[in-house]
Chains A and B, each alone.
Chain A
């Protein structure tokens, strides 16, 4: 049979014809064969392709459901009461419904990232062509997630399209299963959840590879520039152009216009959310200075708008408040929407001239405009900001109440408690109001860092008291000091860095990777992030940041006036602090784990998901922390980590995701793996003991992090280091030795050197272990064998002699 490369042919009169269509059947395998690459068993897996792996994970980590609502409201049978795991009219029970809801959240998040990825990829292909090479820095494995999942080894922008086609098709299939009258098993919804999470990381990777390759962003650069961050860094004396969102495509035209027209010193360009991070990365790979300042996360959106400082607001997509236009209108701030995902009911002005749009918006004929033509956007946004600054100044916009008004507003409060009960964090607002009557506004100021700026208090108040505005007015001094430095996202961890550090991670001598990602719905303010990162960095963990967490970490300074970004270097080495970049750069965190398996351990990565995930599960001590997680994107990211065996801890608000994956350490049957050398079963410690769970406070979080970096393959030195941190953090933050420390001891050399004798005594006295005191050796007691050359695996077929 001959291959038809291009062209047309007729098959009308032919019989027994087999048609092979290039990108669907066999193309990946064929290309791989030509290049001498081995393809694993699951390139482009369908929904059931990795089901066995998921079942392996889910048998150890069971779903724990905590519904927010006990009813299903999906169809016209309903509402169906599912309380007590009852079945509804369609036959679905509470368990399966909760799993289905988790799936919906995860694929919503995956769609947000991959929708972004598709948009920016199309845009960049239009500008640079399909053949534009992917360039992410000194790496041969440029697309670990894409290559692992799809089997495609992309080299150009055009190659990324095929990966995106796969993601979109699979998301569509997953979405279909949510329809009433389909899947009924919770565990299969759970498998689909993990599938959706995996797709999310592919979609994110496409997005960041495309923009890093084309927009001059740092390419695996530990020296990525430090950029200004915080509400206090915005110079309100200049016209202020505020950009909000996650997709930097349109904003690059604004930055180019500002640059080309020498407006850099005449205009203040600030950003909120991940567009802001990507603005600071734009055209910096050759040493150009960042052109924008970062205001902060979504938690600062309402606060920043209500400050009245912005003269024009531009939004793109994702994590943008639905009420930006309404809030902006009150303060005469025109809003420009630039993306089909957010249009706010505004008239499409894409085909109008910049002059006409500027005239209509500056005369308040219309409150804003939808501009999908980026050339027009590039001109309108900065020119309008310059014009509006003058107009708004002349009008004398008054944004926040005065101190006198603060007292009057406090006196209006009837202490009904509605604000506190509606506040997602139940913050003590009534107390602040009581003090406010006495002209003491310190309790409002106290709320500033704790408040995530959602505005529910305002909506709840029966007296129409603008609570959020009061907090902001009382905190204006704090806000003016809220400025720091964050490192612009450096992009991927490069192959050479993996070669250097991989062995330490696998053996456990670098105690672990703590990846602090996610949104800004923190239980106790943004300072907690600083405390967690600082403590773990001092202990030589590699701390990786991205998105909102990366931004918030830049707001706090130590006693020397330094942020952690200034204090710690940004290489992929123990004790380094890395900001990979915006939300879509989260793919580089999972990508790093994949790279360790592929580069350091020489495992085949192409279409070989199960084997790589198994390797990561058993060998790489990494824990994700999404301390302020709230969005669908965050749970999608977390689920993608989970399928690779990477555990994730979320803050207490994360319980409202309604589902966790938690193992039972007391169920010994769950904690066994095979030794790949001979297929024998070996017991392992219960770590990680969860794939997704919540922590109540950072004090509880610290020992959880240390413990859950422990892996079956730790060598003695690594286990000793990890166990030392677990014990120390437990003693420091919980005031006691952890009760289960001895379960992680395989031999005396696993014990912290300084406490070895003391701990051996405890093992003998309290746990009945037999000790040879002459040699200070453990003779009997541990349930795990001490054999660091064992090859732990959860996959029987990977054992010698198995097929």
Chain B
């Protein structure tokens, strides 16, 4: 089992409520149990074939995908129904109980983040943390302190291993 809870050093931002470090098996089960999960994928995946594979594998487990930035260019031919949306707008809409979601089926309860610029996602998560009651799960390579649950800071190869374990548990 990959331990993804160790290195949770933070650098640029801080507050009193921080993400709880989480292991991939727990994160996977949490996604599996979510009533209305959403995987939000950032454009850092575009030049990373291995990450694209993981995104597709998670999506194939039945998790709808929001593609932010230009990440949609890497997902468009993957038959996973990914929908483009700007992540700042998405952060705004996620807090609105009247939003129908990307598919018109209603608001989400658990949001999973992968493939984002660290500093950018930190800000989006800060908004979600302070103004919504969503469960935000960061399965990024870096510790995202403003998520509800997050992996710690990982080496690239350990990150991929962790994602595999997470996928097995969904």
Question: Closest Cβ of chain A: how far from B152's Cβ, in Å?
Answer: 12
CA distance A290 to B166 in the complex (A): 62
Indicate with 1 or 0, residue by residue over B71-104, a CB within 8 angstroms of chain A CB atoms: 0110010000001101111011100101110000
**Which of A67, A70, A696, A733 has the most CB atoms of chain B within a 10 A radius of its CB?**
A696
Residue from A84, A85, A662, A695 in contact with B92 in the complex, judged by beta carbons closer than 8 Å:
A662
Q: Judge whether A699 and B43 touch: CB under 8 Å.
A: yes
CA distance A666 to B93 in the complex (A): 10
Q: Judge whether A697 and B70 touch: CB under 8 Å.
A: yes
Whether A693 contacts B89 in the complex (CB less than 8 A), given A83-B17, A85-B130, A652-B119, comes out as yes
Q: Judge whether A425 and B129 touch: CB under 8 Å.
A: no
Is A735's CB within 8 Å of the partner chain B?
yes
Q: Judge whether A696 and B68 touch: CB under 8 Å.
A: yes
Is B16's CB within 8 Å of the partner chain A?
yes
Interfacial chain B residues near A738, Cβ < 8 Å: 84
CA distance A81 to B117 in the complex (A): 27
Question: Closest Cβ of chain A: how far from B19's Cβ, in Å?
Answer: 13
Segment of A116-124, A257-265, A653-661 engaged in the interface with chain B: A653-661
**Which of A652, A695, A697 has the most CB atoms of chain B within a 10 A radius of its CB?**
A652
Is A266's CB within 8 Å of the partner chain B?
no
CA distance A81 to B15 in the complex (A): 8
Question: Closest Cβ of chain A: how far from B127's Cβ, in Å?
Answer: 4
Interface size, A (range): 35 or more
Interfacial chain B residues near A739, Cβ < 8 Å: 83-84
Residue of A nearest to B124 (CB): A66
Segment of A150-158, A392-400, A416-424, A574-582 engaged in the interface with chain B: A416-424
Residue of A nearest to B104 (CB): A666
Q: Judge whether B13 and A68 touch: CB under 8 Å.
A: yes
Indicate with 1 or 0, residue by residue over B2-17, a CB within 8 angstroms of chain A CB atoms: 0000000101111111
Residue from B70, B100, B117, B120 in contact with A666 in the complex, judged by beta carbons closer than 8 Å:
B100
Is A538's CB within 8 Å of the partner chain B?
no
Q: Judge whether B131 and A736 touch: CB under 8 Å.
A: no
Interfacial chain A residues near B126, Cβ < 8 Å: 66-68, 70, 658
Q: Judge whether A696 and B87 touch: CB under 8 Å.
A: yes
Is A90's CB within 8 Å of the partner chain B?
no
Q: Which of B23-48 contact A (CB under 8 A)?
A: 42-43
Interfacial chain A residues near B73, Cβ < 8 Å: 699, 733-735
Is B150's CB within 8 Å of the partner chain A?
no
CA distance A695 to B127 in the complex (A): 16
Is B169's CB within 8 Å of the partner chain A?
no
Question: Closest Cβ of chain B: how far from A568's Cβ, in Å?
Answer: 26
Indicate with 1 or 0, residue by residue over A85-117, a CB within 8 angstroms of chain B CB atoms: 100000000110000000000000000000000
Question: Closest Cβ of chain B: how far from A665's Cβ, in Å?
Answer: 9
Q: Judge whether A70 and B120 touch: CB under 8 Å.
A: no
Residue of B nearest to A71 (CB): B15
Interfacial chain A residues near B153, Cβ < 8 Å: 417, 421
Is A239's CB within 8 Å of the partner chain B?
no
Whether A736 contacts B16 in the complex (CB less than 8 A), given A690-B89, A696-B117, comes out as no
Residue from A65, A426, A693, A735 in contact with B127 in the complex, judged by beta carbons closer than 8 Å:
A65
Q: Judge whether A421 and B9 touch: CB under 8 Å.
A: yes
Interfacial chain B residues near A699, Cβ < 8 Å: 43, 69-70, 73
Is A475's CB within 8 Å of the partner chain B?
no
CA distance A66 to B12 in the complex (A): 14
The 3 closest A-B pairs by CB, nearest first: A70-B15, A696-B69, A699-B70
Where the two chains meet, the residues of A that have a C-beta atom closer than 8 Å to any C-beta of B are: 62, 64-71, 81-85, 94-95, 417, 421-422, 424-426, 523, 652-653, 655-656, 658, 660, 662, 664, 666-667, 689-690, 693-697, 699-700, 704, 733-736, 738-739
16 further A-B pairs in the complex, CB-CB below 8 A; given A65-B127, A655-B124, A700-B68: A66-B127, A70-B126, A71-B15, A83-B129, A83-B130, A84-B129, A85-B130, A424-B12, A664-B96, A666-B100, A699-B69, A699-B73, A700-B43, A734-B72, A738-B84, A739-B83
